[in-house]
Amino acid sequence: MSSVSITLRVNGRSYEVQTEPHRTLLDVVREDLRLTGAKEGCSTGECGACSMIVNGRLITSCLMLAPEANGADIVTIEGLAQDGQLHPLQQAFIDHGAVQCGFCIPAMILAGKALLDVNPHPTEAEIRRAIAGNLCRCTGYAKIVEAIAAVAEAP
């Protein structure tokens, strides 16, 4: 079967993409849309580095075929800063020294955002559970949790 035509709305902008159906949403966003914030780590949904928010829910884009996202509203890390202002979570990650090598961070911030969007004042346990699907191999989890908690506590 030949390629399929899909429409994606990514960070508020609409894209028409032709893709072969075996390519993932991650492939299309990185290679066709050139938004490389989402990373390919394990390719099997375990590391979470490819996480995006699709129709309001955090998913691993390495396990979503691109045509499965047809018509979806997608947020990647590139969509968080507004008018040159970092998103409060991005700023908090910097302020708390939560970023080491950086590979896991775009998805980690999106996992934090997905949590705070539905639960603005989570407990530490809820924060840890919300990022359980995101591995950081620098193992800077304590500072990542602190950064998310700081945004959650802000008035």
Partner 1 sequence: MRRFDYYAPGSLSEALSILQERGNGCRLLAGGTDLLVQMREAGLHASCLVSLRRLAELRSIDFDEGTGLRIGAGTDMATIEAHPVVHERYRALFEAASLIGSVQTRNMATIGGNICNAAPSADSAPPLIALDAVAEIESPGGRRELAVGDLFTGPGATALGPNEILVALRLPVPPPHAGSVYQRHTPRQEMDIAVVGVGVALTLRPDGQIIQEVRVGLGAVAPTPIRAREAEDALRGQSPSEELFARAAELAVAASRPISDVRGSAAFRQELVRVMTRRCLGIALERARAS
Q: Which residues bind partner 1 (CB under 8 A)?
A: 1, 4, 20-22, 24, 43-46, 48, 51, 57-60, 63-65, 67-68, 70, 111, 114-115, 129-130, 132-134
CB nearer partner 1, residue 91 or residue 126: 126
CB of 79 closer than 8 Å to CB of 22:
no
Within 13 Å, how many C-alpha atoms sit on residue 140's CB side? Answer: 19
CB nearer partner 1, residue 59 or residue 77: 59
- Min dist. Cβ of residue 127 to partner 1 (A): 11
- Min dist. Cβ of residue 91 to partner 1 (A): 23
- Min dist. Cβ of residue 58 to partner 1 (A): 5
- Which pair of tokens denotes residue 85? 């202002």
CB nearer partner 1, residue 2 or residue 82: 2
Find, among 53, 47, 3, 45, the residue nearest to 29 by Cα. Answer: 53
CB of 17 closer than 8 Å to CB of 8:
yes
CB nearer partner 1, residue 24 or residue 90: 24
- Min dist. Cβ of residue 10 to partner 1 (A): 18
Find, among 128, 147, 134, the residue nearest to 51 by Cα. Answer: 134
CB nearer partner 1, residue 70 or residue 91: 70
* Planar angle of CA 114, 118, 120, nearest 5 degrees: 95
- Min dist. Cβ of residue 42 to partner 1 (A): 10
CA distance 142 to 14: 37
